[in-house]
Structure 1
């Protein structure tokens, strides 16, 4: 019996190690490669859904789209979406997460009361402060790299759209330019040139009845910085 038990344990370990490393989208990160779940659940305010195409990546995308900042896969077909952790989960050996995903047999999706946990880069509660109007050209960029550019379907309330977008991606610096371009970064370039605020004179609309707002200018980036409230 000891030999049989050893063989089973070894098989599980080999099976777990044979799984491919999943690609986690949207800048989410792995918080627990394998953790112990409990009947009351380790994710706060959790919503659990079973999917026939479940993978760590698809679960993260579904949770992100629903506005959750934590995700986990368990028991092959379960996708867990939550708002945080309930305490500190107990780590489990990676070999315990030995069940193949229903959406890809080459990936693991937890096990029986074993969950793989992922976290959004979302900055969480906080506020954005205007830091000024900066020159932004190819020769003198305002933001350093890595830099994300994004254009929305509409520039209605562009500043709010942009800071929310950057904050969800985990970037603490945000800027709008020429009433169209949203930029996200981790900070200003060394020597970034501050310009008079009057040069950020491109207008973009606010909701009906609220008028307009200034959203940068031509080669002028109106810059905001995130401040955490915690």
Structure 2
């Protein structure tokens, strides 16, 4: 689990007329796809905001990415969701003291005081067969390939659907709200002996009757 206080240095600058919502995942078809500016050496959050509003003053969202890209719109496309703050770690080309997103990561801003509602983890995903592999230790990202995060709606089924739809065989849940995916379990990670009882014991944020890992422990499942 990451310490938010330790990440303060990477939070982008606060703008006078916009709110910083956090670091969000992008998708190949773009989370904000109404207008964009690429390869701009003047890129900052303020520059992106000005470019978006100059093109269409009704835009309510804008985001910077990869240090030199700017995306605009009024709604996030399906598949974009909040991710770890440190994922947005690329210096802005126009001001190296400011961060402008990352690789397929948006530093997202908007005109509303509250962030747009997104839910990559629906409560009722399609049901398919999967098996419980065990409670595993977290070692250098036991499942490293993909991650999702939902402080209010994480369940075993929704994490499983998220990873399956992303093309991964294994999925794991940690800290009640984290979802991790991968094609294999890290070779240095070991399964805990649960003959005397469960070791992973954190309730899922979306269903307290389900278990979503523990502190540096993953409840891991495998699709059939």
TM-score band (shorter)? 0.3 to 0.5
Whichever structure has more helix as a proportion of its residues is 1
TM-score (norm 1): 0.42
TM-score (norm 2): 0.43
